[in-house]
Amino acid sequence: MGSKYPVLKPQEVISALSKAGFVFQKQRGSHAKYTSGSKTVIIPMHDEIAKGTLKSILAQAGIELDQFSELLHS
């Protein structure tokens, strides 16, 4: 059975996280840091964000996959 997490471009993930209140803090090399309150996520600025990496980002952000999907498509 395939993973339910999509492979996305970093800008798509950043757009959805921004809608959830995350703001850019800084970038070092190819990794950007976004925060919301006490939560911090690191987004790799590569061509694509792998499914496992997205799963980890959402766990750090405290966002469920269905909620993230709504943010992506709103």
Tell me: the pLDDT tens digits for 50-72? 999 999 999 999 999 999 999 99
In the predicted model, what is the mean pLDDT of the chain?
94
Model confidence, pTM: 0.91
How many angstroms separate the Cα of 67 from the Cα of each of 21, 47, 63, 64?
Answer: 13, 24, 6, 5
Does 1 have pLDDT greater than 70?
A: no
pLDDT-derived band at 2 (thresholds 50, 70, 90) equals: low
Give the integer Cα–Cα distance in Å for 13 and 10: 5
Give the integer Cα–Cα distance in Å for 66 and 5: 10
